[in-house]
A and B are shown apart, each in its own frame.
Chain A
Amino acid sequence: MIGLDQITEIVIAALLVIGGIFGLIGSFGLLKLRDPMQRLHAPTKATTVGVGTALLASVLDLWIFEATLTWQELLVIAFLFLTAPITALFLAKAHLHLTVRHEDIPPTGTKRPWATYSTDDADEFQP
């Protein structure tokens, strides 16, 4: 007979395996994709589920088998979601600044240029 503990163990194992697979795919994407901007997609996405499932497995394991409910994993997920887009934006802007010419990306369609290529210093963001 399969008890509740075994079902939980299977779920935890499945979560860890899924997390591992996504982490691996994210790293593989770095190798396979050619353009730096394409490579940026692999780690910013494929790793969120990877880390998320590993943390979920950790919460489940401590909760079911150690009878302690920890919330720190939730914080890790929350901070990961807050910081990953900012890191990606910084990398993208550094890439634009260093290697992409202004002519190679589409125009803004407004009278102002993209912020990375902006040369005026006195213009402030007007909401």
Chain B
Amino acid sequence: MMRRLFPHPYLSLTLFIVWFLLVNDLKLGSAVLAAFLAITIPLLTGAYWPNRPQIKSVPALIAYGLIVFWDVILANIQVARIILFMPADRIRSAWIPVPIELRTPEAIALLSGTITMTPGTVTADMSDCGRVLLIHALHAPDPDAVRDDIKTRYEARLKRIFE
């Protein structure tokens, strides 16, 4: 019964909070509408998202968020320095295939999003079977180091959170 009514409890909770942030007002009416949206949207979209993502450790997820937040700031400074001070013909861009061990779609989506937001790397494609990500690095004199960094810094943590 609970499972039928709330196919995605985290999604419901997120929608509830997001609605309150949107209206920016603590009224009973907003709470009713927020609850209505939090129940109906997961019900209507549940058919397209049958599996429920398993989050093994919420503190680890929060720690991951903080690490990514910090890395995004560093990434901005790093990319800004490359753009400003490095001559265009000395920038060595590279395509890097990164084999991934993650299997849950949510974890892979989070990993590829993280890669795009952090130091000089963009997720460009994924292999047909979902086991390798194609990454473009803005300036990577040592592509192997970039790959290992992604695997140890982000993938290992995501594996602990989701799998």
Q: How far is the CA of A86 from the CA of B113 in the complex (A)?
A: 7
A118 at the interface (CB under 8 A from B): yes
Comparing B5-13, B27-35, B40-48, B129-137, the segment that makes contact with chain A is B129-137
Q: How many residues of B contact A (CB 8 A)?
A: 43
Q: How many residues of A contact B (CB 8 A)?
A: 53
Would you call B24 and A71 a contact (CB within 8 A)? yes
- Chain B residue numbers with a CB within 8 Å of A118 are 128
The residues in A between 54 and 82 inclusive whose CB is less than 8 angstroms from any CB of B are 70-72, 74-75, 81-82
Q: How far is the CA of A95 from the CA of B117 in the complex (A)?
A: 19
Q: Which A residues are closer than 8 A to B by beta carbons?
A: 22, 25-26, 28-29, 32-35, 37-38, 40-42, 44-46, 48-49, 70-72, 74-75, 81-82, 84-86, 88-89, 92-93, 95-96, 105-116, 118, 120, 123, 125-127
The 8 closest A-B pairs by CB, nearest first: A112-B128, A85-B116, A92-B124, A85-B113, A49-B76, A108-B127, A29-B83, A71-B21
